[in-house]
Amino acid sequence: MNICVFSSSSNAIHNAYFEEASKLGKLIGESGHKLVNGGANVGLMEAVTISAKEAGATTIGIIPERMKHRSLVSGNSHEVIITEDMMERKARMREVSDAFIALPGGVGTLDEILEVITLKQLSYHSKAIVFINTNQFFEHLFLQFEKTYQESFAKSTYKNLYFIAKDAKEAIEYIENYQPGSVDSKWFIVPEK
């Protein structure tokens, strides 16, 4: 299975995040899966790539041309796919992946994971989506999700579009046992004003 991992490109973050990224990469390799990620040689992206490779996983890095020119391409990716821009990068990552995991990250990571949730909500795919909530990193995002459900901006059944894992082990177990379900694609019935 090709597991896509969205994650931070920062080297300035706490070591606990690097430890969990390394555990995830190791589990991907030991479980016989392939790693797909953003292909950069920094942050959690590089940590998960190195540990996956060391554990026997084939690693596929997908990175925009602009990042290649900044010398940010990981030397630990078995295959590097260069895209024209970020939009193409995200599309290629979605195309070649069978499941998605978000490790903690910045705006780019949030953009990537929220896009795959939105596309699943709209029935463009039915692949597993997991957040690894290291150090409760995503708690405020989940509170924002709850606000959208409470105030009817989104249906509470959309909680089933993603899974919140406490660690890498739980994330891989979820993905390996994942069964796609149906998505309630009906809009809210809105009373006339």
Helix orientation angle between 15-30 and 43-54, rounded to the nearest 10 degrees? 30
Residues of the chain with pLDDT > 90, as a percent, come to 91
Provide the pLDDT confidence category of residue 67 given band limits of 50, 70 and 90.
confident
Residues of the chain with pLDDT > 70, as a percent, come to 95
- Residue 43 CA to residue 8 CA, distance in Å, equals 6
CATH of domain 2-136+163-173: 3.40.50.450
**Residue with more model confidence, 135 or 70:** 135
Sheet with 163-165: list strands edge to edge.
79-83, 59-64, 34-37, 2-6, 99-102, 128-132, 163-165
Residues 61/73, Cβ–Cβ less than 8 Å: yes
- Residue 108 CA to residue 7 CA, distance in Å, equals 8
- Residue 28 CA to residue 56 CA, distance in Å, equals 9
What the block records as the tokens of 118 is: 């939105």
Neighbours of 177 (CB within 10 A): 8
- 167 pLDDT above the threshold of 80: yes
Annotated domain spans of the chain: 2-136+163-173
pLDDT of 39 reads 96
Residues found in the chain: 193
**Structure confidence by residue, pLDDT tens digits, 40-51:** 999 999 999 999
Collapsed DSSP state (helix, strand, coil) of residue 158: helix
Model confidence, pTM = 0.94
- 164 pLDDT above the threshold of 80: yes
DSSP 56-119: T--EEEEEEHHHHTTT-B-TT-SEEEEESSHHHHHHHHHHH-SEEEE-S--HHHHHHHHHHHHH
pLDDT of 190 reads 65
What the block records as the tokens of 182 is: 């149906």
- 69 pLDDT above the threshold of 90: no
Ranking 1-10, 103-112, 166-175, 180-189 by mean pLDDT, the lowest is 180-189
pLDDT of 24 reads 98
Torsion of CA 85, 87, 89, 95, to 10 degrees: -150
Strand-pair partners of 132:
165
- 177 pLDDT above the threshold of 70: yes
**Structure confidence by residue, pLDDT tens digits, 94-142:** 999 999 999 999 999 999 999 999 999 999 999 999 999 999 999 999 9
- 15 pLDDT above the threshold of 70: yes
